[in-house]
Amino acid sequence: MVEVLILYYSRSGRTRALAHWIAEGAESVQGASAKLRRGDYATVNDFIYCDAVAFGSPNYFGYMAGIMQDFFDKALSIREKVAGKLSLAFTSGGGASESALLSLESMISSFRMEKVIDGLVSQGEPSEENRKAYKKLGETLARRALEKTELPKGRSQARTKAENMHTDDSRKRLTCYGDRFSVESRRMYLQGQRALRIPSNSGVLI
């Protein structure tokens, strides 16, 4: 299961509507779930433990909203933990808002994340036409996140064997992030290992 985080700010609801459509698109992909977080309530752990992230903001004077910038400022110390994460940006504005989009995309590059696709700008009230495009954005992000978490061919037989020993339920919760386990996955993995009484010196790679 991959988690797509949609981290956004919205004051009058337009960006929120776009964020919800992105979430809808992500959830339409089997094996993906979406988590919506407003910038002022999001934590750096939300950022660290997701598989992919979509950043959204209204255009404020040609830039992202201060709350979004504040979130990035707070996340500076965990920059290394999110490097390489799949991401994209979206904005809503009264007029043309490419510069606000660029401000979000410049954060994607400053944090050395991977931009999956060019972001979208919505002008004025979001329309049905927007809905399709933003759903597609969420879907694309979720699909790419799923592809990235697939085990590379020929990767550790020992790990795969150990994973197969887990029940379906615990396997669902055990998410392998590309080529390595996240701290959270490692913790869950060890819990599962203890429950199954796999000796720690069994040679299983984690």
Contact residues toward ligand FMN (CB under 6 A) are: 10-16, 58-62, 92-95, 97
Give min distance, CB of 14 to ligand FMN, in A. Answer: 3
The residues that bridge with 38 in the sheet, in sequence order, are 8
Give min distance, CB of 13 to ligand FMN, in A. Answer: 5
Nearer to ligand FMN, 19 or 52 (CB): 19
Nearer to ligand FMN, 40 or 150 (CB): 40
In the chain, DSSP assigns E strands to 2-8, 32-38, 52-58, 86-93, 114-115, 120-123, 176-177, 180-181
CA dihedral 54, 58, 60, 62 (to 10 degrees): 60
CA distances from 119 to 103, 138, 145, 159, 179 (A): 11, 11, 17, 37, 27
Give min distance, CB of 96 to ligand FMN, in A. Answer: 7
Nearer to ligand FMN, 2 or 101 (CB): 101
Nearer to ligand FMN, 15 or 175 (CB): 15
Give min distance, CB of 3 to ligand FMN, in A. Answer: 23
Q: Which two tokens stand for residue 206?
A: 């984690």
Give min distance, CB of 173 to ligand FMN, in A. Answer: 34
What counts of helices (H) and strands (E) characterise the chain?
9, 8
Nearer to ligand FMN, 13 or 31 (CB): 13
